[in-house]
Amino acid sequence: MPGAHCRPGLTRQELDATQHFSVGTGFLRRLSVSMIESRQALCRCPSALTGLRDAWRGAPSVARKMLRAMAQVATPRTQPVLLRAAVWSLVGMIYAPLYLVLEALLRPSLAAFAGPAAAGIAGGVGAAFYGARQLALTASLIGTGAATLTMSAAAPAWLPSVAAVLVSIALGFLLRFPQRCTADVGVKVLAGLGMGTLAGTALLAADRLAGVLLPVPAVLAFLVSVTGVLYVGVLVARPLRAPTRGRFCDLSEGLVMAVIALVTANGLAGFTGIFADGEAGRLTTVLLQVSPQLPAALLAAMLAGAMAGGLLELFEFDWVDRA
């Protein structure tokens, strides 16, 4: 009902406003009179005034509905992409120093094949951290604890490795992780090992056949992205298995944990050797040798991993549950 808002003629406030603007400029006087006349025209058409008022009141709710719809469209895609990119970036951060150190350690004995071998081992370890997080983190804690305890007791250099391997194998038989065989960790590590070796062999072939020798950051970016994409592709294509523990599940868990614990214990021992007195060991010497290349290699591996993981999520590949 427009009765409360429409009155015939001008109100006292409107007359005062008109008289006030009459002493000012002609533009302000015309603007005031035009606004008053417009309101009176709306009062003569109650349906128009009611529709305009209802539209004004409904505008905030319409805006809220539009924003809610936009959020529902954007949020489900943005969050998984960022999450998967972050996880792959962390895998790249693990892969880069492991590859550099292994390649330098294996070069005297394997020569040109040190690159594919290091890429395969780093791919297997990265696959364990990516697809079997509980197992990989447990193994890392075992390796850290073994290295810390043996170093504090001034034990022989081989003792951290032996302690880490024995404890890991024992826990592999005794500990039950939440998922079946920690989501087929044996198959995943073998897939990462094979795909990493394949990616490293492709770089070796490019060097020997075409003379293409990439710088270290480009090598790490290529290995992390290509190994990851091949790894996910292979595991997604494999047939699904029944959710039961196989007969070799305990053994495969123990062996994978032993490898990761061994790598962690020796890495920590080699790092602490930098600050120790006396002659540096072989692993410490290699760490010092690759340290100038490490910052750029880390950055390239993390960026490549984030880009590859984000793109895989955009194309809706399965990941943690199956890969």
End residue of a domain, out of 45, 65, 85: 65
> 3-class secondary structure for 236-293?
HHCCCCCCCCCCCHHHHHHHHHHHHHHHHHHHHHHHHHHHCCCCCCHHHHHHHHHHHH
Q: For residue 143, is it within any domain?
A: yes
Task: Supply the pLDDT for residue 312.
Answer: 84
Q: What does the block give as tokens for 19?
A: 């008289």
Per-residue pLDDT tens over the stretch 236-282: 776 655 555 556 777 888 888 999 999 999 888 888 888 777 777 78
Verify that 89 and 48 share a domain, yes or no. no
| Number of domains, the chain | 2
Task: Supply the pLDDT for residue 175.
Answer: 75
Domain hosting 34: range is: 12-65
Per-residue pLDDT tens over the stretch 135-179: 888 899 999 988 887 776 666 778 888 889 999 988 878 877 655
Per the confidence metrics, is the pTM higher than 0.85? no
Closest-CA residue to 171 (of 146, 139, 140): 139
Verify that 100 and 184 share a domain, yes or no. yes
The amino acid at residue 256 is: V
Task: Supply the pLDDT for residue 22.
Answer: 46
Per-residue pLDDT tens over the stretch 88-111: 999 999 999 999 999 999 999 999
Q: For residue 282, is it within any domain?
A: yes
Higher local confidence (pLDDT), 225 or 270: 225
Task: Supply the pLDDT for residue 21.
Answer: 45
Task: Supply the pLDDT for residue 118.
Answer: 96
Verify that 119 and 194 share a domain, yes or no. yes
In the predicted model, is pLDDT for residue 316 greater than 80? Answer: no
